Structures are given as structure tokens and as C-alpha cells.
Amino acid sequence: MFNNQSERQTPTFVCGRCCWLDQSAARFEQVGVSGGEELLLLLKFTCPSSTMGKKSRVKTQKSGSGATTVASPKEMMNLISELLQKCSSPAPSSGKEWEEYIQIRGLVEKIRKKQKGLTTVFEGSREDSFPDLMSWAQENGASCDGFTVTNFGTEGYGLRATRDIKAEELFLWVPRKMLMTVESAQNSVLGPIYSQDRILQAMGNVTLALHLLCERADPASFWLPYIRSLPQEYDTPLYYQQEDIQLLLCTQAVQDVLNQYKNTARQYAYFYKLVQTHPAASKLPLKDGFSFDDYRWAVSSVMTRQNQIPTVDGSRVTLALIPLWDMCNHTNGLITTGYNLEDDRCECVALQDYKENEQIYIFYGTRSNAEFVIHNGFFFQDNAHDRVKIKLGVSKSERLYAMKAEVLARAGIPASCVFALHCNDPPISAQLLAFLRVFCMTEEELKDYLLGERAINKIFTLGNSDFPTYKTTSEEDRSILEKPDLSLHTRLAVQLRLAEKQILENASASGRAKRLQFQEKLSEGAPLPQFEESDIALLENNDPDAKLPVILHKLEEVEEGQGIEEEEPLLNGGKGDYGTITEANGEAVLEKTQKVDSVLIQNGSLDQKGPQEPENPSANRTEERPIDASA
């Protein structure tokens, strides 16, 4: 049913902004199965060689396409154990991450080679599956009378209006019974192992990935029409060639890319051993065929589609895949999807007026292009919310650490956190400006809350117009993108690298301009800003609200979307806030009570910053590839 193009779908609204990154290690450690402990735990299960009779017995397996693979179970298990041990080892020292990635990828490629032919492939093209998807959806209570699935060329598959649709008109709803959720996984063949494995219980997204694989392997699955409509491959970095990943070296995004691969490999190795050795896994359809390519596909399917919805009683949230609705492509705008608890269904209203035959879009959220590329497999050319993350912190070994940390804490700023430089003005947020001012304060300045000239100059030295850490210039990247024969993944990597440089260039130019402005004011005798609060009053004040904006009192108001970038859980669903749904700046946007009738679904990420005006849909990102494949 699939074509051979790499494809991505709608983004995820989950805790952690749909990343499968380095905090998966934290999850493994939290449940007590990290590194060697994990291997010891697995040794308690039945040895696969003993259950098969002979240790050296050769097993031949066939895929749906008829291809075969021959592999010794012992040899495969040794490779899996080596991969698990490598991926569970402590993080490498700075500068050694690429070397570790090469080693992990080498092991994965050995495993993939021995598993060649195991991946499930449906017959027919992907497009052939859409009529069955629409019929299945209609039979199960979804609305299907205002649109159809259509191939939009360079934009890929999406929803096309079959009639005029007015802005804010409810045109699409999907009942709960059609959704694949953590709850449905618990009630499936996966249930017995879910109830006994703490990793699955802690990681809803991993549960969904295995749930998806089990249902794909079941020819009688209720969700088969939906699963057949999914892409065969994606454009997430998990599918990149090594040389494409290498293009991202020295970018701010590369660490997340490397972590994503490492942790996907670790998860696969852990669950491969679990499927082969745990008694509760004996009836799983994955028992005789669970390849790395299968898991990579499932991870990418979930990572690009999962959303949070309320449980049946509305008391908490759970993760879900939402058939049909996840065919919508992205444009600028605002969130228009919610969950109606009374009717127990996901509902979507039109973002704008749509004429018959026009494509229907939704807004994925205020995500950076790094997040789009890593977690969704596309680059959004006109992304007004693009930003580059930088991690800054006050060293604990510094003599003034305690004072600086206290001043920052009272201002609501951690002593070590991730900030962002933004593509729009102002590129430097008020919080980042405040942090750097405090970072550069002397002991006397800390006591008196003075902002000295040295501190003012420090903020404006951010960035370097030459960007020596990058191996190419912006002009060289633009020249590369003009080449007509670039692969899609190479193009995505270079586009992301260029976007980072443009943001840094903008921040550097802004810094230079503001430094000149301050220097002119100083030459005219203008006084430096000084805060009225005294150090003693600040430290003795126990009212967290009274002194909250100590550093920010004299700063401009924070622009929407210009706040601190919070560290997020490695795996989607790894952490949940069941009391409220929050924006990235920590503000609660929804209180969930027993009387709530609907829960907002933020399609795309946790870091929704508020409504945005819709722009020209023709400039939108595609479902399968960038809007302009030659740009």
C-alpha cells in the first residue's frame, strides 16, 4: 500500500514536545534497569536458546513480501546485547558524541543486514488504502462528508474540501473507539506484558509504538484500514544516511539528532530481548519478527502523530493516534482542535474559510524548525516561530555562585537552563538579557543590583558573524541548496543549518546595534539602570510574588514566545501534567475539572504560545516534503 517516499504526518502535542531523546536513559534508570542492572534483570527470563531446543539452531523467517533472512538466534542476541550495552553506557565526553554515534550505527547496520526481509510490507500503493480508510471512518461514526484525501503533489497527501467550509465550522470529528491509545493497548494482546513491564508503564509513547506494531501484524485488527494508510517510511533523522547527519555537525540541533538515534536503538534492543525472553510475550505477534526497521517505523509513526486526549472519565490525559484527522497538513494560524468529553470525540473546526477543492490545513503549534525536522521530518520555510536553543549556566565552582543563583531564582530564572535566540525581533529575550547581566555582575553589583558597563557589553557579544564553528558559510549553504540533485534528507539538513546561522546573524546584528546605542547614551552621560531593591531585602523576603521580577523590573515586557526554553523529557509521554495543560512559559492555559466538557488538543507541541494569524496556505509545509523542494 505504500509508496517509497519518506513521509511525515501531523505533529504531536505531548509532554516533551514529541522528542525521543536522551531522557529515555533517565526513564530506564528511574525504574532500576539501567546498564548492567538491565542485563541482569533480563537474565532472569527464560533463555531463548533453551526454548528453541538447540543453541545453534538456524531460523529462517519470511516477510510479507516473500523475502527471507537466515540468522542464528544466538548471534542475533549477542548483537542485541552489545547494542544495549553500548547505548546504556554513560554519555561520552564532550567531542566524542559523533564517535559514539558511528559505533552505535555500525551495530544497528549489522543487525539490519541480518534482518533483511523481515519488515512487513502491504501490497498495493498507499493511495489505494484511502477509500477503505474513509469507509471505515464513516462506518464507525467519524464525519467524512466535507472532505476527501488527495495527493497535493509537492505537498503530499492532505485533506481536500469537497464543499465550501466556513471558518470555525465543525467539519471533522473522530470518536474515541477509532483512536489508538495507551488504554486500548492495555486491553490488547500487549496487555499482559504491559502490566508487568515498568518501562512500558512509564513510557506511553513506547507503548503506542509496540501497540501499533502488534496491530499491524494482525490481519483481523480493527485498526488495519488506518494502519494501511500510514507511510512506509518517514523523513525523520532516524531515516537519514550517515553523510546527511554529518551535515548537521556543529549545529545546535545535532545533539538532539544523535540522542534520538541512540535512544531509539537502546529502546529497540531492550524490547527485542523482552519480546524474545519474557514469558508474557509468548503470544505477541512480534515474537517471530521484530526488526529494527519495524521499530524505527513505529517510533516515527507515533512521534509524528501522537496527541494527548483525556481519559474516559476526564480525570487525566493519555496518548492517542487520531485516524483521518492526522492527514491534515500544517499552516500558520491557531489551534482549532479539541476533545469533547460529552460526545467522547475529537473535534476540529476550520481554521479559515475553504472553498470547494481547496486543501484544509491545521496549525501544528509554535515549533522551531529544529523541532519540525527532528520530530516531524520537514522544514517550514516561513516559520515565524523559529529559534535556536543555547544552554547557559552559572558554574557552581564560582565564588559568587550562591548570590547569582539567588538573584536569578527570585527573578524566576534557573541558574542553568536553555534559552532561545529567536528569528523575530527582539531576538534576545528579556530573560536571556537578565541572565547575562546577572552572570556578569561583580560582588558589589550583586549587592547593589547595579548593571555595570561590562555586563551591558557582554550581552551584545553574543554570536559571531563569521560563525567559526560552522564548516560552511551562509552563502555556501545557499549555493548547495540551489543544486537540483540534492536528496530530500540532505536538503532538510542544509536548510536547518542555514536557518540556525540566519538566527545567529540576526541576534549578532541586533546586539551590535544595541551596544552602539548604549555607548552613545553613555557618552552623553546617561546613567546606567539601577534597581531599587536592596540585596538584604531580597534575600529576606519570603513572598515569592513580591520580588519575582527583580531583574525584569527595568526590562521591556517579554514578547510572546520569547521565554525560557524548558528542558523536556526525552520520550513523549514520559512526564504528564494531569492538572493543567501548560504553555512552554509555564502558564496554565486550561484547568481540567469534573465539569470540563472539552479539552484543548495542542496539535504539534507543548510549547504553544498563543493564536497566530493564518497566512497564505500555498506557502505551507507539506505532509511529505518541504513546500518547495528546490528552495
CB atoms under 10 Å from CB of 30, counted, come to 14
Would you give the distance in Å from CA 358 to the centre of its chain?
29
Mean pLDDT confidence for 24-49:
38
Per-chain mean pLDDT for the chain: 74
CB atoms under 10 Å from CB of 50, counted, come to 9
Q: How far is residue 233's CA from residue 111's CA, in Å, rounded to a whole number?
A: 19
Mean pLDDT confidence for 310-329:
92
User: Is position 611 within any domain?
Assistant: no
Per-residue pLDDT of 51-62, as tens digits, reads 333 333 333 344
- CB–CB of 76/255 below 8 Å? no
Instruction: Give the closest residue to 538 by CA, choosing from 380, 441, 410.
Output: 410
Given this model, what pLDDT does residue 521 score?
A: 73
DSSP secondary structure code for residue 594 in this structure: T
pLDDT bracket for residue 627 (50, 70, 90): very low
Q: How many domains does one find in the chain?
A: 1
Question: What sign results for the dihedral spanned by CA atoms 272, 92, 240, 211?
Answer: positive
Given this model, what pLDDT does residue 605 score?
A: 30
User: Residue 477 carries which side chain, given as an amino acid letter?
Assistant: D
Q: How far is residue 79's CA from residue 67's CA, in Å, rounded to a whole number?
A: 22
Given this model, what pLDDT does residue 463 score?
A: 36
Question: What sign results for the dihedral spanned by CA atoms 411, 414, 416, 418?
Answer: negative
Instruction: Give the closest residue to 120 by CA, choosing from 288, 269, 306.
Output: 288
Mean pLDDT confidence for 265-278:
95
Query: CA-CA-CA-CA torsion for 410, 411, 412, 418, nearest 10 degrees?
Result: -130
Per-residue pLDDT of 247-271, as tens digits, reads 999 888 999 999 999 999 999 999 9
* pLDDT at residue 512 tops 70: yes
Given this model, what pLDDT does residue 25 score?
A: 45
Given this model, what pLDDT does residue 260 score?
A: 96
The residue that leads in pLDDT, 387 or 449, is 387
Mean pLDDT confidence for 310-324:
92
Given this model, what pLDDT does residue 538 score?
A: 32
User: Is position 53 within any domain?
Assistant: no
User: Is position 544 within any domain?
Assistant: yes
- CB–CB of 80/274 below 8 Å? no
Per-residue pLDDT of 139-195, as tens digits, reads 999 999 999 999 998 788 999 999 999 999 999 999 999 999 999 999 999 999 999
List, in sequence order, the alpha helices (H) in 1-153.
23-30, 36-43, 48-52, 73-87, 97-114, 130-139
User: Is position 456 within any domain?
Assistant: yes
Pairing relationship of beta strands 359-362 and 329-330 according to DSSP bridges: parallel
0.85 surpassed by pTM: no
Q: What percent of the chain has pLDDT over 70?
A: 68
CB atoms under 10 Å from CB of 565, counted, come to 21
Structural domain that includes position 500: 386-560
Given this model, what pLDDT does residue 70 score?
A: 61
pLDDT bracket for residue 526 (50, 70, 90): low
- CB–CB of 329/626 below 8 Å? no
Per-residue pLDDT of 43-83, as tens digits, reads 222 233 333 333 333 333 444 433 445 668 899 999 999 99
Mean pLDDT confidence for 279-293:
90
DSSP secondary structure code for residue 476 in this structure: H
> Residue 213 burial (CB < 10 Å; 0-12/13-18/19+)?
buried
Q: How far is residue 14's CA from residue 16's CA, in Å, rounded to a whole number?
A: 6
Cis upstream peptide for 426 (omega within 30°): yes
Q: How far is CA 43 from CA 87, 88, 125, 320, in A?
A: 18, 16, 43, 33
Cell numbers placing 300? 516515527
Domain CATH for 418? 3.90.1420.10
Q: How far is CA 192 from CA 185, 218, 273, in A?
A: 10, 17, 16
The residue that leads in pLDDT, 122 or 607, is 122
User: Is position 191 within any domain?
Assistant: no
> Residue 400 burial (CB < 10 Å; 0-12/13-18/19+)?
middle
Q: Which of 27-31, 197-201, 309-313, 319-323 has the lowest mean pLDDT?
A: 27-31
**What is the number of residues in the chain?**
631
The residue that leads in pLDDT, 287 or 532, is 287
User: Is position 521 within any domain?
Assistant: yes
